[in-house]
Amino acid sequence: MRFKADMRAPEEDHVLSQVKMVGARYCCSGVSQFSDFEFAASFHHLLKGQHLSTAQALELFSLIPPEEQGKRVTCVEACINKLANPRLSQKLLDTLNDAQYEQLQKRMGMALSFTAANPTGHHRFELSKPPERECAMRLVRIKNTEAEQEAKEQAACEGRVGGKRIQFDRVWRNAFLNRKPLVYNGSMSLPSEGILELDFVQISKVPAKQQAISNQELHHLIEHEWLDRHDGLELVIALRAWTNVHYFTCAQVSALITMIKRAELLREKTEAAKRFAQEQATVRAQLQASLARATTQDAAQATRISLKQGGPSAQDDLVHHLVLPDDPAQHSLLGALSPLRRMVQGVLFSAFSS
């Protein structure tokens, strides 16, 4: 699902240096000289450790000819998680057509749904994949900016009633690198491979000057981007994407949580009704099968009575019909079938005599 929300966040300053920008412009305008692999390697190298504005990213994207679809996707892939203002990332995604966006999803995987403007949540990154490693590095940078706020809060707690509080990392929590605990420190660097898993909590508050999304805009998003009203998870995923663009009031969040709970209740009710209908169908099929077996048993009982009344000749005819071919050309099999005939006849005689 693609979210095309209205971008109302202010534009950021140009953060990529002019020297780097000249090199990036040359790389994008001369893409025909490079293979897809060469362009990806060069472009990622130019942007390594850098940030750029949305305007710079859009300019670089526009320099790549439309027929170079793969390289356009590479450009967005390299820029999307390096934007100085991640709340404007949707502007860059909206430049892609549906086929290009689908290709970007395959390349970036979970990294595409990473919300740098709202990083709070559980994360799992494969550091060998450049897009996911860039997301992990983004969390490290956010953690560095949160350190001052964290120190202030810890200092404020020391003088409170109840004594000194247990010191713990409020931002970088439950972190594991290749299933081994990873304690954060300001000088650490992430390896180029391995699995990083952690819970991240952004504790800094929203700047007072920022405006929340209006109720009318929120209603518009819900009406157009929440398609299945019985799917609360779909609304959660959509809300996650919206928080990368907009701010929300407490009242709006409370209303959204209520909608999610109501959707889940409706889904459970619908699924229970489906299960009940399936169980009814199963019982009905079992009853029909039981009736069919009873009918077959009645027919078999009638056959047994008829054979008893017919005597041995009728039983012998039945055995002969079961084990002997009618085709004279197959009479050579008679010797081989005789033991089988005697066995079947013995079983039938024991059954009919009972």
Q: State pLDDT tens for residues 289-315.
A: 888 887 777 666 665 555 455 555 544
Domain range for 248 is 210-309
Nearest one of 115, 124, 130 to 199, comparing CA atoms:
124
pLDDT tens digits along 201-224: 998 888 888 889 999 999 999 998
Same domain, 199 and 123: yes
The C-alpha atoms of residue 180 and residue 160 are separated, in whole angstroms, by 35
Q: Are 95 and 64 in contact (CB under 8 A)?
A: no
Q: Mark whether 9 and 65 lie in a shared domain.
A: yes
Q: Does the pLDDT of residue 3 top 50, yes or no?
A: no
Q: How many domains does the chain have?
A: 4
DSSP code per residue over 163-197: SPPPP--SSEEEEEETTEE----TT----SSSEEE
Please tell me whether residues 324 and 301 are part of one structural domain: no
Q: Give yes or no: residues 6 and 62 share one domain.
A: yes
Looking at every residue in the chain, the average pLDDT score rounds to 79
Does 88 reside within a domain? Answer: yes
> DSSP character for 14?
P
DSSP string covering 52-117, please? Answer: B-HHHHHHHHHTS-TT-HHHHHHHHHHHGGGBSSGGGHHHHHTTS-HHHHHHHHHHHGGGGG--TT
Do 100 and 11 reside in the same domain of the chain? yes
Q: Which residues of 72-82 are buried (b: 16+ CB within 10 A; e: fewer)?
A: bbbbbbbbbbb
Domain stops at, among 49, 78, 113: 113
Residue 342 is predicted with a pLDDT of: 53
- Report yes or no on whether pTM surpasses 0.85: no
Q: Is 97 within the bounds of a domain?
A: yes
Q: Are residues 5 and 104 in the same domain?
A: yes
Same domain, 299 and 327: no
Task: Give the CA distances from residue 13 to residues 52, 55, 136, 248, 329, in Å, rounded to whole numbers and listed in that order.
Answer: 9, 9, 24, 25, 97
Mean pLDDT of 225-232: 86
Q: How far apart are CA 10 and CA 56, in angstroms?
A: 15
Furthest C-alpha separation in the chain? 109
Quick one: how far is CA 253 from the chain centroid? 23
Tokens of 315: 């039983």
Same domain, 17 and 86: yes
* Residue 220 and residue 258 share a domain: yes
